[in-house]
Amino acid sequence: MIKIGFVIANPLSEGLGFSLRPRMLIKYLSLHEDIEIHVYTPFSEVRNEFKNVHFHKMKTLYNFSGLEKITYRASRIMIKRKFFANNLMYRSFTLNKIVKGLAQSLTEQLKKNPVDLLQAEQDIVAAAAVLSKKLCNIPVIADIHDLWADEEVLVGRIESESHAFKAINNISKIALLESDAILVGNPLIKSILQSRFSLGSSKIVISPNGGELLEVGLPKQRKRRVVYAGNLESYEYIDLFVQAASYIMKEDKSIEISIFGKGPDEKRLRNMAKKQGLPTSIFKGFIQRSRLIPILMESSVGVVPTKKEYATPMKPFEYFSAGLPIVSIKGMWWTEVMERYHAGLSSAFEPKEFAEAISALINSADLNQYARGAIEVVKKEYNWYNITENLISVYKKLIL
């Protein structure tokens, strides 16, 4: 029995954001009989759907009289505000204090509940894990979902080469240089990290996101619905979809536009929709994944409007799992996957062309064939069971 520890600093929610990846990895690793999972988290998690998974609560800066989720949400709100991000949350002092606090609590838990290997989700947690590694003598894998500092610049919260940018990169540097292996979602982000931090190629393993093998049957009649489901952040480029939606609804009022999710870009997007003459009812708010999947299954098109090339998005694979074909931007690596399986259509990053691709797909006589291609993406290649099988071979190389 191999004992794998997961260190997370976010709740294992049912959203489509960054917490879904560790949730799925834990769920599908636990299906392997020779794997026992231990999760070290600041939150009181009770997940009865997982077997061979043990949760251990860490004491951190979030712990104030059992109100850890409230203080967590407060910290997330401050991070999203430019003033607090630059003057408090992304100061070296603050980040180092969080890392040291996590490391101290993690070390205490590891002494009580030891594991053979630690996998730390995202940079700040990985930086804490490598500090614990020195005391507990266990290998650490850093699971890097994105380019943290670059993303904060992209959404306009910090400036490139600012003190905040350098403070974040210093944390990333500790996590990447001191870990024993690094997981990234695609070859481009691997190349960027190699160049920026002078890392060896063999240390970085590509471990993409995927979808679940759901019992999906093609619906007898699909709703003429086009869906975006995910975070409402500027790096998702949802404004492209909003602009495209105005073209679509002028041409065909039978098509329903649905935007599921929440985030700091919501107010701007609502104002944009209003100026485009779109009803604000297109914004459906956040919805639990368990309720969202049936909606995706009966819809006609899912959109992935981002042009962030190094991204490792979750949503195309969630769409594919539900048998939902997509419209995505040309040149993205997940678009190439979609094209290989004939699971949708691609478009240039231009509102009218994006609208035309959506209309072409939703009106296509081959829509069910595209839906079958979407299911094949997950069935043949990008599913969580395959991804975790590949991870186990990485774990064994580090342990044995």
pLDDT computed for residue 65 by the predictor: 44
Q: Cα angle vertex 145, ends 37, 105, to 5°? A: 50
Report how far residue 326's alpha carbon sits from residue 377's, in angstroms, rounded to the nearest whole number.
12
Q: Check if 2-210+383-399 and 225-380 are the same fold.
A: yes
What's the CATH number of domain 2-210+383-399, 3.40.50.720, 3.40.630.30, 3.40.50.2000, 3.40.50.300? 3.40.50.2000
Tokens of 331: 């040149």
Could you please report the per-residue DSSP string of 195-259? HHHT--GGGEEE----B--------SS---EEEEES---GGG-HHHHHHHHHHHHHH-TTPEEEE
Q: How far is CA 392 from CA 49, 143, 183, 208, 327, in A?
A: 21, 14, 13, 14, 33
Output the pLDDT for position 16: 64
CB 392 within 8 A of CB 35: yes
Angle between helices 123-136 and 163-178 in degrees, nearest 10: 40
What is the separation, in whole angstroms, between the first and last Cα of the chain? 12
| Integer Cα distance of 319 and 223 in angstroms | 15
Q: Compute the distance between CA of residue 153 and CA of residue 158 in angstroms, rounded to an integer.
A: 5
Q: Where are the domains of the chain?
A: 2-210+383-399, 225-380
Strand partners of residue 54: 38
Virtual torsion, Cα 262, 206, 58, 103, nearest 10 deg = -120
| The length of the chain, given as a count of residues | 400
pLDDT for res 70: 64
pLDDT at 50: 79
Residues 335/41, Cβ–Cβ less than 8 Å: no
* pLDDT given at position 172: 97
CA distance 86 to 164: 6
Question: pTM for the complete prediction?
Answer: 0.93
CA distance linking residue 43 with residue 21, whole number of Å: 17
Distance of CA 114 to the CA centre of its chain: 28
Environment class of residue 231 by beta-carbon count within 10 Å: exposed (0-12), middle (13-18) or buried (19+)? buried
CA distance 381 to 316: 14
Domain 225-380 in this protein, CATH class: alpha beta
Mean pLDDT by 10 residues, the chain (400 residues): 93 72 93 93 76 85 54 75 88 94 94 96 96 92 94 92 95 97 96 96 96 85 95 95 97 96 94 95 93 96 96 94 97 97 98 98 97 97 96 94
Amino acid identity for residue 218 in this structure: L
